[in-house]
Amino acid sequence: MMNKLIRSQYQSKINLTTSVDVSKIARPKEGWIRTLRKSLGMSANQLAKYLDMSSSQATQMERMEAEDRITIKQLRRVANVLNCDLEYAIIPRKPVESTITEQAKIKAQELISKVDDQMRLEDQQLSKAQLTEQLEIEIDRLVEEMPRTLWDK
């Protein structure tokens, strides 16, 4: 019971991010560091001095961000120097519950297919309607119980 409550709290927190329109805050092509630096009217050399590094290192850091090779620690350092905060999130494309249900459906189909194959060999196969009903029952069970094997490949 406690696991369900905790999982529900996590899901609620993650689902809050799905309402964010990230297209309005997408990273600029040249990266946030360079864009912010330019918006402040700051040269790469000036930024380098604030970061206590060489101009070429500051330029390299900007390039690394644009190429997705910068660390969160480095971004946080630059943000701090430029009087900014770094916020990051992994934003689900749909509610977490939908992702869980989709995975449960995949697992349920695998299980029902195996059972159906076995029953067919024994000449006891279920009708299409019965298979659909069993599939729905199994999906509901998997979503409810959330077995550790749900995400096994």
* Domain residue ranges of the chain, discontinuous segments joined by +: 20-81, 96-151
CA distance 153 to 139: 17
Summarize pLDDT for 52-94 with one digit per residue, the tens: 999 999 999 999 999 999 999 999 999 999 999 998 888 888 9
First to last CA, the chain: 26
CA distance 114 to 23: 43
CA distance 85 to 88: 10
Taken as a whole, the chain contains a residue count of: 153
pTM of the model: 0.75
The upper half-sphere exposure of residue 91, i.e. CA atoms within 13 Å in the direction of its Cβ, equals 14
